[in-house]
Structure 1
Amino acid sequence: MAFDPSKLPSLLNPEQLRAATHTGGPLLVLAGAGSGKTRVITYRIANLVIAHGIEPWRILAVTFTNKAAGEMKERLEKLLGPTAHEAWISTFHATGARILRRDGAAIGIPSGFVIYDDSDQLAEMKRVMKSMGVDPKLVDPRKVLHRIDDAKNHGRSPDDLAKRPGYDELSRLTPELYRRYQKSLAAAGAVDFGDLLSRLVELFEKAPDVLQKYRNRFRHVLVDEFQDTNRVQYRLLQMLAGDGRGLCVVGDDDQAIYRWRGADVTNLLSFPQDFAGAEVVKLEQNYRSTQTILDAAHAVIAHNPTRMDKRLWTEESGGAPLELVVARDERDEAQQVADRVRAALRDGVDAAEVAVFYRTNAQSRVIEEAFRLGRIPYAVVRGRSFYDRAEVKDLASYLRLAVNPLSSADALRVINKPARGIGDTTVGRIEAAAEEWGVGIVDACRQSAQIPGLNASAQGKARSFAQLVGKLALEAANGSAGAAAEAALKLSGLEDAYLAEGSDEAVDRLDNLRELVGAAKEWDQTWTPPIDPDEPEAEGPTPLAAFLEQLALLGDADEKIAGPKVALMTLHASKGLEFERVFLTGMEETVFPHSRALGDEGGIEEVAEERRLCYVGFTRAKRRLVLSLARSRVLFGNLRFNEASRFLGEVPRELFGIKGAAKPSRQTGVHVVYDDARGEPEIDLGDDDGFEDRYQVDYSFDQRPAPRQPEIRRAVVRAPAPDTGAPFRIGMPARHPSFGVGMVEGIDGDKVAVRFPGVGVKRVVARFLQAV
């Protein structure tokens, strides 16, 4: 056996060892960023199997991404060998799908159900709204789906929503739309993502014998990224774990950044109270970043009012100072970042070890333009992009129909793809007949002779479509994903249609379809059927069914970047990743933290989550962290003059390589001001001595390919500066196109300090103001 428990003390640090060998009660592992949590989880499982004789199939380990589950399986296989496959290691949703396929019949869920993704759900909701006579222009179907998903994340039924007061048309209609949507899913033999967990709770509640079966089976339950669980996921864990004796959760409240999609960090914070006698182990030794980066991250996160106390440290002391890029506007910021990235690549840094983060996707546009002009190889990480392409979804719909002909959403998607003469009018009549008869679209096509208003030609075309689905079902019967995908590509007519079109776009689309066929064939070669010694007679999924489920469950964090490219992504997408060099852009108030957290709908918790997002961004960096901001920025067509982000001000100036001060200051952070006489940005150290201490930052390049470290020159300037004859006077009102009318409080050259109601003081170039 490859794993020897006696060697654990030499493989793990003391706190990791405590977490890996703990037995006897509930365990909460507070695992800071880069502290080796996956290592702890895999060694804990291996130790349970080898040292304590726990059968692998009695262990359930759940996480949030296929990537994390795959890494865990790979590590465990190296420790335990082939028996590692017996442990259930998967995402929450994949675990839910597996149990529902086995035992969902107890609540009316067929074993061959399909999983509807976002576009499938939208199509289904539009059909439901049409049947109810609800105008999608007045009630947004996406908003309805968002409310339904939120309800499922909190374990609320349509009846629960109906009991809540409805203040608008959306609130009034959502309960009935929710009810009919669920009926429509059931008729199609389908579930959505929320159902994979909410209906699992329903199964356990309505079939206590099923719950008891899985309680008896899983003696140990391990949960990764526990801070990201929602209320339904926590309820499932409580149901499975009972008193929590075999429950181990691993997470970090400082990295809880998914509140907007239902995650509830109080699950982690309240764990010691919810499970009596729970032991808490803190993993604070970091194996990723320099101490400088860790200190910067702690300086920011320490300002959050509600968090479990911990501080990351590393044996590798010091590290390069943080870098600060202050730009005139967003284009200058993008260009400066591109210049630094290009210089780093010339200096030998691997492109795959460089990442640029931003708060919102909209910020990527100018960065992409600068990278294209600079010929810098890059990839925008948005997740699932390949599988979201229309032609790929078309072929996937044919495959899903082969497995489940009841899926009307898939049938409606491809009934006329490629064009086979079944027009919208015919489809409408088929759809109406299917709803009246209580059957799927394919069955209605099969009985097209009975549909009123269809002529002989339309009837024949509808029957041909039904026969095509029947042929695909026969091809899929052998279970091979690759063979079924290849047959679907040919029999559907998609291949011939794109070949006949012959355009460059058609060739690209056909290449994508062939790539999907290749992925299916690769799946056949690498997929291992789940082993279940506890239920050897249980019939598992076919390779095709498993392949389709994998496609449906792919998440944002599972996309791979091909080749050595700089990664461009939102801060949310960066979770779980690490890079040698990180550029965090848009460090400005209302950009990051986002305006939503600062506006009327924001609050303490919204700002706290933005701060956690900053902490996540900082701790992705191994060696170098570069922060950038722009003095003005156009976003969504609006020109903004933003102050430097409060998070930037929370970072001690020493971490930027700035030493000393005139005397001790109540403000220790770095604050950015601008000197328009010089036309260059400066850093204000904020010394509270009646003077304004400014540090000129020179980011010019020398003759070497890599940029020079910032050169800092000090100049003390008394404030306020004398009036220079600008058309503004202190105490007079001035109008700004974005901030409205404010009162002038100071003048420094052509920069005017104006206090705007609800915004605060902004330093604005005079030409952007109008005297009132």
Structure 2
Amino acid sequence: RNILDFETAFLGAHTVRLERNYRSSPVILSAANAVIAENVDRKGKTLRTDRIGGERITLVTTSGETDEARWIADQIEAVLSEGPGLAYREMAILYRTNAQSRALEDVFRRRGLPYQIVGGVRFYERREIQDVLAYLRLISNPLDAGAFERVVNYPRRGIGNTSLDRLSTWAKAEEIRLLEAAARADEAPDVPKGGVRGLIAFAGLVQRYSAHASQMEVGELLEALVEELDVFRHLADEGPEGEDRADNVRELIAGALDYNSELQEDLESETLDHFTELDLFLQQVALVADVDRHDPDASAVTLMTLHNAKGLEFPVVFISGLEDGLFPLGRAYDNPSELEEERRLFYVGITRAENKLYLTHARRRRRAGEVMYGRLSPFVDAIPGHLVEKVTTAVAGESDGYAGRRAVRPDSSRSIDLGIQDDDLDFDTGLNQDLPRFVKGEAVVHDTFGSGTVGEVVGFGRDLKVTVHFDNVGTKRLLVRHARLRRDFD
């Protein structure tokens, strides 16, 4: 508002428009000018450059956030393999909300691609994520004293430092672990009554979920835990920052739910009998944390929100998550000025690119624990068609017949020849011609590992496992009901 009201506040002021751009190609500037022209409440200006030519903007349609992240990683690797002209540090991925970094970070870690989060904290290091993961660690391992101390009073349940100190002293004297001591807090001397109630309730909650862990998938377990703890309400009490933290917790749940369908069975069946899915999920997260701390000075791709991108520039820029309701945010439609601010943010993102700009969107994205189907952001419609080349990922192309359908759980009374209940599949298997037959030598595709060939098939029904020789990542053993393998028709 200060800029728009300046001439009213200071009569006789002269406006000088800074329209020459020394950064971006004419193609990128033409797109930016077309986008921002849709705003009414602005000082008009048209950016121009002395540069000539430039690559067209690439608009990419993906099937989901994992497919989107994987395509971006593929493209980065492809660009770097073309020659020594570019380095990781010359590429940036921009997104509207902090929570969107989770899928990108997961794929980058699997690929070993270096990245840095600018203006924020890496996903698994964020306070709210550490809090929830500490609950999962304690549920998985009651001996984890660090996890116990982190969450014994989160959310607040009347357990102060005095209660904890006296409980800890008694636990050492009795030679019992802290969680067991909490369950028997009424036996500990000098622990305040309020602390006793809170400690016993906390121990009971952890013990209940420890029992559930052997029967529940990790995503389902995490959803139930977060709901019982009322995490979202407590985060909402923190104000606007709490809303962002709540989005991060929702994204952690989304990752856990995705893990249900991506669970890799690299271990032998006898070994797996001793692990819950929660144990395996936490093992993966532990590996992620180790990678996050590796060589922070290395050349790295930059990941950041569009707000944090102001004033920066990169030869190659990806703007991800361009779905209506995510960018612009759904609440922006309630206020015209907020919608214009969202469009201005998109304009900022476009003009961060010097030479090449990629725009990506997903047909479906898991948000707030639900699979949401979305359409391309209307902001993109303003870009003239001759400036854009359109690309559809292989996975999105294969799912064309299902675009717009909600991922439902069909009637589990129907089953296919493999003995897998439809309840274990996302789409109606009776209509899906892409399901593999799972025979030796069959070509298949996995969302994360890519193309491969079935080498061995063992078990049946819900326990059916396949060994697949993947082209790029080697041999993997997968549980069919979680793997979401499809036929490879190429």
- What TM-score do you get using the length of structure 2 for normalisation? 0.46
Which is greater in Rg? 1
Larger RCO (CA within 8 A; separation ≥ 6): 2
- What TM-score do you get using the length of structure 1 for normalisation? 0.30
